[in-house]
Chain A
Amino acid sequence: DAGITQSPRYKITETGRQVTLMCHQTWSHSYMFWYRQDLGHGLRLIYYSAAADITDKGEVPDGYVVSRSKTENFPLTLESATRSQTSVYFCASTDPGRMNTEAFFGQGTRLTVV
């Protein structure tokens, strides 16, 4: 299916465990983003990537790791999950080559750390 998909949709993990959230897009968009959504904070940027093998920190990168070996995939890894990382995570992609192009979002992953 064309679009941007995230997996899993729901995940419960224990404190201290490593967990990876997957994001896949079929448009060959160069830019991809990871956000976390929390009440009172809105959407905060964790990491973003301008192209394969190019990543950069966003507003709240601590405790997260990303990689981008292929243009279409942008996994987010929590190296040692903490309760404060309980959140809804959204992946997005965009093509910045056009002015005012929109970002397209995945359906989100609801992560609970117990």
Chain B
Amino acid sequence: AQRVTQPEKLLSVFKGAPVELKCNYSYSGSPELFWYVQYSRQRLQLLLRHISRESIKGFTADLNKGETSFHLKKPFAQEEDSAMYYCALRDGYGNKLVFGAGTILRVKS
């Protein structure tokens, strides 16, 4: 069965510091991986997906199949990045979207 692990419940950094939110997965097939973000009292929204290899709001994430990881990175954190971040994996068979436990990112001024 697929599984997504986010080991950090809370990550607190200072403004301007680099950020790395960790995500590891277990899945027997070819994974489809996503990062979702939830700002305070807002609905979840897609931040980025691995297939696009894009940078959104300065965030990037690279799929490392050898390490089964999909860590989210940003070189310089901003206060507006403070939010809950979820890593998610889509099951290609049932199209279920499985989420990790989430990491709260707190950017201090």
Binding between chains A and B:
yes
Give Cα distance in the complex from A21 to B34, angstroms: 27
The 9 A-B residue pairs with the shortest CB-CB distance in the complex, in nearest-first order: A42-B101, A43-B99, A102-B46, A96-B95, A105-B44, A42-B102, A100-B51, A105-B43, A107-B43
> Looking at the complex, which one of A31, A41, A102, A107 makes contact with B34 (CB distance below 8 Å)?
A102
Interface residues of B in 44-73 (CB under 8 A from A): 44-46, 49-52
Q: Which residue of B lies closest to A102 (CB)?
A: B46
Q: A75 at the A/B interface (Cβ < 8 Å)?
A: no
Binary contact track B59-98/A, C-beta < 8 Å → 1, others 0? 0000000000000000000000000001000100011111
CB atoms of B94 and A56 under 8 A apart? yes
Contact flag A94-B6 (CB < 8 Å), given A99-B32, A107-B43: no
> Looking at the complex, which one of B9, B43, B45 makes contact with A108 (CB distance below 8 Å)?
B43
> Looking at the complex, which one of B44, B98, B101 makes contact with A41 (CB distance below 8 Å)?
B101
Give Cα distance in the complex from A94 to B46, angstroms: 12
Give Cα distance in the complex from A43 to B51, angstroms: 23
Give Cα distance in the complex from A108 to B42, angstroms: 9
**Chain A interface category by residue count:** 20 to 34
| Number of A-B residue pairs with CB-CB distance less than 8 Å in the complex they form | 56
Interface residues of A in 74-110 (CB under 8 A from B): 90, 92, 94, 96, 99-100, 102-103, 105-108
> Looking at the complex, which one of A41, A58, A102, A107 makes contact with B96 (CB distance below 8 Å)?
A58
CB atoms of A102 and B49 under 8 A apart? yes
The binding surface of chain A is classed by DSSP as strand
Contact flag A90-B97 (CB < 8 Å), given A40-B9, A42-B102, A99-B32: no
CB atoms of A50 and B49 under 8 A apart? no
Query: Whole-angstrom distance from the CB of A102 to the nearest CB of chain B?
Result: 4
Give Cα distance in the complex from A41 to B9, angstroms: 10
Q: Which residue of A lies closest to B44 (CB)?
A: A105
Q: Which residues of A contact B94 (CB under 8 A)?
A: 48, 50, 56
